[in-house]
Structure 1
Amino acid sequence: MDVPCALPPRPGLLSSLLRWSAACAAIPPLLTPALLLGPVSQGASDALMRAWCLWARRVFGVDVEVVDHNAGRYDAAAYVFLQLNQTSLSETFVTPPALPRPALIFMNLGFAVLPFAGWVPLSQGSTVVVRQWHAQARRAVDRATEALRRGASYYMSIEGLRSPDGALGPYKKGAAVLAIRSGATIVPMVFHGARAVLPVGEWRVRPGRVRVELLPALETRGLRYEDRDALLQRLRELAEAHGLGLPPG
């Protein structure tokens, strides 16, 4: 689980460089066309991104288990796939193949400027938010709300930053507001083992196993803006019930 614990040893420098070289070698045939196809075909672009993620997992020796508590039943018009614990950039190549359908990303500016990892979703129409710029953040929520109402799905984290030690950070109300305003169905997601694979601040990816759980879907129809705090609390309790949020030490 992504709680404070001893991390496995880092792989050697040469081994890490070779693995990154192999992962990057697949960018021209996979992510370059994914970037170009983003504005015209989200599905094709997403398929290429998933293919690169699977290649990166293989290169880095990261095995991913997906546990879907919804048994593959995703019949609602729009979903918000909501990550309840964010601990590692390894989630960049772990998450896309784990999602049951293509999804735009509600992402901060720092992620949007990452080469290919941020550029490809941006080309597909994903939404960038600058949380410190309140007027822009409100407009970003408005744009994402309209996209969800048109039937798009989104993936986003409920925390503002990646946790360096595995403990849960403060939950942002924007995720609850976005889901309530659009009437989208929330699929809470919890990650176990992502931090052990690539801790915050490091670049050497450790071989390992990550488990992604898609928790039972939560309907938001009938909820009002005034219900946002109660929804946040419910999501926090879900995360804690799955062993997340333990204090350091």
Structure 2
Amino acid sequence: MFRTALTTVALLLGTIVFGSIVLLARLVGVPQGKDSVYEKAPRWWAWWLLRAAGVKVVVHGADRPVSGSRVYIANHVSWFDIPAMIEVLPHYGFVAKRELEKIPLFGPAARAVGVIYIDRENRKAAFGAYEDAAQKIREGRSVLVYPEGTRGVSYALRPFKKGPFVLAIGSGAPIVPVVVHGTIEVNPRGEFRASPGTVHVHLLEPIPTEGLTYDDRDALGERVRERMAECLREQYGVNPALVSREARSTSAAVDTLRPQNS
């Protein structure tokens, strides 16, 4: 309980302090760029939150040379995936669900530092947001996308959405598959608690997209998914077959919520 309470206080104070710094910088016209306040403030926020929760982040594959923009594709199982990734990756933006934009202070501040919001219920608007992200990538910005969409309840990978791979192909930037492990133990989906722990972030071998077309999106997504599943299986013994049961369970839950006349 103490760790959860401390993390909650850190989240509130950190969001108020660092979010206000970002919004003030934008108000007075501080320019975007490497090592600007828009890059530093999210790192300060993540550092503050992770230390309050007692979380240590261990990076694997950071020795691979990185040059130019990248599309980072990561699994998503916990809210703590976000601060863990902010601490690990170089200057980049998120592609995130539009619901987060409604959070007071956090939403506007996140947009100011480069988060691109998508409306998952509006396919046309979502692909418009992806095109916006692709343009930013072509201009030299890296982007992180969670292709599973929402958080999962286990480390078994769920089906990937096509949008992130259309984005990667449209930008021409390589995809870096990323596997995050350990955040469920820190903060599982559906539970309001935070526990100390170690989070492992694996930056896998980049996959080129140059020369690919829209028709290659499915094959590209499967290639990325297979590489991530292989890492989870070899490093943590995660059984890929578990995904079918979770996917069916999630689908059944969605069906119970869907209007009968839809």
The TM-score, its normalising length taken from structure 2, stands at 0.81
Structure-to-structure mapping, 1:130-149, within 5 angstroms: 130-149=119-138
1:174 is matched with which residue? 163
CA contact (8 A) 1:129 1:140 kept: yes
CA contact (8 A) 2:3 2:194 kept: no
Q: For 1:189-243, what per-residue CA distance to the aligned partner results, in whole angstroms no more than 9, with x for missing partners?
A: 1001111110001121111110001111111111111111111111111121012
1:24 is matched with which residue? 12
CA contact (8 A) 1:92 1:117 kept: no
More helix by share: 2
1:6 is matched with which residue? none
CA distance in 1, matches of 2:80, 2:194: 8
Cα shift at 1:164:
1.9
2:88 is matched with which residue? 98
Pair 1:108-2:97 in alignment: yes
Q: Identify the match of residue 81 of structure 1 among 55, 69, 72.
A: 72
Distance 1:226 1:238, change over 3 A: same
Q: For 1:152-184, what per-residue CA distance to the aligned partner results, in whole angstroms no more than 9, with x for missing partners?
A: 211111112110233322101111111111101
Matched residue type, 1:95 = M
Runs of 5+ consecutive residues of structure 2 not aligned to the other structure? 247-262
The TM-score, its normalising length taken from structure 1, stands at 0.85
Give the secondary structure class of the aligned counterpart of 2:212.
coil
CA distance in 1, matches of 2:93, 2:206: 18
CA distance in 2, matches of 1:24, 1:125: 21
Matched residue type, 1:92 = I
Distance 1:31 1:20, change over 3 A: same
Give the secondary structure class of the aligned counterpart of 1:217.
coil
CA distance in 2, matches of 1:160, 1:142: 18
Matched residue type, 1:49 = P
Structure with the greater relative contact order (CA < 8 A, sep ≥ 6): 1 or 2? 1
Query: Where has structure 1 moved over 6 Å in runs of 4 or more?
Result: none
CA distance in 1, matches of 2:241, 2:197: 22
Equivalenced residue count is 233
1:34 is matched with which residue? 22
Pair 1:183-2:202 in alignment: no
